[in-house]
Amino acid sequence: MTDVPPDSLVIQIEPGSAPAEEIASLLIDVSRLYRLCGGSGLGFEAGTGSITEGE
């Protein structure tokens, strides 16, 4: 990863043999935790590698 601002949340997932449902569950939990800390949550789409804040 290059030029990531120091206050950014970066998650790199090496899925191995984990099913997509387990990965989705992890990302949902991270989004909930982020909201509990005052963030706007995370938006993500399966298969795109895209995660955005507040969607």
More confident residue, 40 or 49: 40
Whether 15 is covered by a domain: the verdict is no
pLDDT digits (tens, 9 = 90+) for 12-32: 788 899 988 888 888 889 888
CA angle 20, 5, 47 (to 5 degrees): 20
Task: Identify the weakest region by mean pLDDT among 10-14, 30-34, 43-47.
Answer: 43-47
Supply the range of the domain harboring residue 36: 21-53
Whether 33 is covered by a domain: the verdict is yes
Number of structural domains (the chain) is: 1
- Split at pLDDT 50, 70, 90, the class of 45 is low
Whether 4 is covered by a domain: the verdict is no
Whether 32 is covered by a domain: the verdict is yes
Query: Over pLDDT 90: what percentage of the chain?
Result: 4
Rounded to whole angstroms, the Cα distance separating 8 from 39 reads: 12
pLDDT of 55 > 50? The answer is no
